[in-house]
Amino acid sequence: DTGVSQDPRHKITKRGQNVTFRCDPISEHNRLYWYRQTLGQGPEFLTYFQNEAQLEKSRLLSDRFSAERPKGSFSTLEIQRTEQGDSAMYLCASSLIGQGDYEQYFGPGTRLTVT
Amino acid sequence: AQSVTQPDIHITVSEGASLELRCNYSYGATPYLFWYVQSPGQGLQLLLKYFSGDTLVQGIKGFEAEFKRSQSSFNLRKPSVHWSDAAEYFCAVGAGITGGGNKLTFGTGTQLKVEL
């Protein structure tokens, strides 16, 4: 078990550009979550998937944000027309629901800087 | 809506001293509670969790936490702190039937500094 991985680890982009992040969960984990963490704050929930279905989206997830999990395995988070306020750490987590393990395992995060 | 308060932004303790990090939650039903630790450049690592049963839970690295429903608290403790414990600590609450399987709400974190 290699844990949750995220790519890239760091991304610097100019305002107005689009960016895409990838998350690979622990294999066979059926739930996948995205959180955003800004400096001095705890992570804030953005959205989550059960298999390929996106079950909930936070109001933090504006129309410029879209997330997919096309085959119920890896997920992508895309931000269109980035703004400076999008600068944050984007964290992905996964869990296995249905076998009594509700623990969410987090990846190392993708740090986005919008200049 | 659920919420978590960590009243201490920064805490400094001497190595070998005891530690208690405070966490208060707000949630209408029985909460699912967690403590995570985050070191610089690292992801969040789960220290311990409470779902039900014994209100004193043991975790990794010698940490423990006690769930007190009457005080809506889930404080983290360690009897003797090591320099490697310096990190940021987050308390979180999960909701719903699947508890931690649903979204987590985190506190703002407590930054722990350990003096040698």
pLDDT band per the 50, 70, 90 thresholds, residue B46: very high
Looking at chain B from residue 4 to 63, which residues have their Cβ under 8 Å from any Cβ of chain A?
A: 4, 32, 36, 41-46, 49, 51
Optimal mutation site among B103, B105, B106, B108, interface A, most CBs of chain A within 10 A: B103
pLDDT band per the 50, 70, 90 thresholds, residue A99: low
Asked if A41 reaches chain B (Cβ–Cβ under 8 Å), the answer is yes
Shortest distance, CA A39 to any CA of chain B (angstroms):
10
The percentage of residues in chain B with a pLDDT greater than 90, rounded to a whole number, is 78
Weakest-pLDDT range from A89-98, B24-33, B71-80 = B24-33
Contact B44 A91 (CB under 8 A): yes
Nearest CA in chain B to A98: B98
Q: How far apart are the first and last CA of chain A?
A: 36
Assess whether pLDDT exceeds 80 at residue A100. Answer: no
Contact A31 B101 (CB under 8 A): yes
pLDDT band per the 50, 70, 90 thresholds, residue B31: confident
- CB B99, CB B50: distance < 8 Å: no
Instruction: Provide the pLDDT for residue B105.
Output: 93
Query: What number of CA atoms fall less than 13 Å from residue A82's CA on the CB side?
Result: 20
- CB B41, CB B31: distance < 8 Å: no
Nearest to A103 among B49, B90, B106 (CB): B49
Assess whether pLDDT exceeds 80 at residue B84. Answer: yes
Q: Is B41 exposed, middle or buried (0-12, 13-18, 19+ CB in 10 A)?
A: exposed
Nearest to B106 among A4, A40, A43 (CB): A43
Contacts of A112 (CB under 8 A, 6+ apart): A11, A12, A13, A19, A21, A79, A82, A86, A87, A88, A89, A90
Assess whether pLDDT exceeds 80 at residue B95. Answer: no
